[in-house]
C-alpha cells in the first residue's frame, strides 16, 4: 500500500511549479489556526528569493483527509493540546512514508503533547536532535549554528528535532525558536527586520529541503 501511495504522491508533487502548501487542522483544542500571516509571507519570500513558484493561497487540511496527499509540505503550529485518533495516525503515517513532509513549529506549549502523539505515530522511532551540520541548515541560506532563536519564552536554546526514514528527514519539530512568529507581518510582534529575515531564511531552507531532498 505504501509503495502505491508513494508513486501517486511523487507523481502529484514532482515539481515546485504551481504547488500548494497547507496548514494542518488537528483536534485536541490547540490553536492550529495560529499565525495566519506566517505561511503567506514565507511563500512570498521563497518565490522571490529561491525561485519557487508556490501558490500564495494556503490550504487547510485535516489530519485524516485524503487531501493531505495533495500537499508536499504541511505546517503545524499552536500553543496547546494535540490529539490524533487511530484514523488520523494511519493517514498521517502513510503521508509521511510516501514522501510528504510535516513541519511542526512550537508556538509555545505544544512540546509535551507533540512528543506523545508522535510516539503514537512512530512507536519504533524517537525524535533525534538535528545537528547544525545537517543539510536543512544550509539549503539556501547558511545557519552554521543550527536553528535560530526568534522569540524568547523560557530562556532555553532553540532545538530542531526530527523523525527520519531511510536517513531522510520526514518530520521536523522546531522547539524554542518560534519561526512562525518571525514569518508573520512585522506589526504583529514588532520583530526587528534582522530577526524576521533570519526566520524567513530558515523557513526557506525548510521549504527547499521538503521539495528537493
Looking at the domain that runs over 2-212, which CATH code has it been given?
3.40.50.12140
What does the pLDDT read at residue 29?
Answer: 86
pLDDT at 203 over 80: yes
Q: Mean pLDDT score of the chain, rounded to an integer?
A: 91
For 180-193, the pLDDT digits (tens) are 999 999 887 788 99
For 210, residues 6+ apart whose C-beta sits below 8 A from its C-beta are 72, 73, 101, 103
For 5-58, the pLDDT digits (tens) are 444 444 444 444 468 999 999 999 888 998 999 999 999 999 999 999 999 999
Phi and psi for 59 in degrees, rounded to 5?
A: -85, 165
Task: Provide the angle, in degrees to the nearest 10, between the axes of the packed helices 193-212 and 38-49.
Answer: 70
For residues 151 and 182, the answer to whether their CB atoms sit within 8 Å is: yes
What nine digits make up the cell of 42?
514565507
Distance of alpha carbon 68 from alpha carbon 24, whole angstroms = 9
Distance of alpha carbon 174 from alpha carbon 153, whole angstroms = 14
Task: Give the confidence band of 109 by pLDDT, cuts at 50, 70, 90.
Answer: confident
What does the pLDDT read at residue 34?
Answer: 86
Mean pLDDT over 121-150 rounds to 97
Phi and psi for 58 in degrees, rounded to 5?
A: -90, 130
Map 67-133 to HEC letters: HHHHCCEEEEEECCCCECCHHHHHHHHHHHHCCCEEEEEECCCCHHHHHHHHHHHCCCCCCEECCCC
What does the pLDDT read at residue 98?
Answer: 96
Show me where the domains of the chain are located: 2-212
Amino acid at each position: 500500500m505504501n509503495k502505491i501511495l508513494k508513486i501517486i504522491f511523487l507523481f502529484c508533487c514532482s515539481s515546485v511549479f504551481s504547488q500548494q502548501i497547507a496548514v494542518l487542522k488537528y483536534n485536541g483544542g490547540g490553536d492550529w489556526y495560529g499565525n495566519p500571516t506566517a505561511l503567506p509571507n514565507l511563500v512570498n519570500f521563497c518565490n522571490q528569493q529561491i525561485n519557487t513558484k508556490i501558490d500564495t493561497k494556503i490550504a487547510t487540511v485535516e489530519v485524516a483527509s485524503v487531501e493531505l496527499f495533495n500537499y508536499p509540505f504541511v505546517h503545524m503550529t499552536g500553543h496547546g493540546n494535540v490529539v490524533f485518533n487511530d484514523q488520523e495516525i494511519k493517514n498521517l503515517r502513510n503521508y509521511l512514508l510516501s514522501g510528504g513532509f510535516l513541519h511542526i513549529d512550537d508556538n509555545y506549549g505544544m512540546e509535551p503533547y507533540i512528543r506523545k502523539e508522535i510516539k503514537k505515530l512512530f512507536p519504533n522511532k524517537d525524535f533525534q536532535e538535528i545537528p547544525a551540520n545537517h543539510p536543512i541548515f544550509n539549503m539556501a541560506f547558511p545557519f552554521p549554528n543550527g536553528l535560530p532563536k526568534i522569540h524568547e519564552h523560557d530562556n532555553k536554546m532553540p532545538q530542531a528535532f526530527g523523525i527520519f526514514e531511510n536517513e531522510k528527514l520526514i518530520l521536523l519539530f522546531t522547539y524554542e525558536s518560534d519561526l512562525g512568529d518571525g514569518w508573520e507581518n512585522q506589526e504583529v510582534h514588532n520583530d526587528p527586520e534582522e530577526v524576521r529575515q533570519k526566520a524567513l531564511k530558515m523557513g526557506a531552507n525548510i521549504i527547499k529541503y521538503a521539495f528537493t531532498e
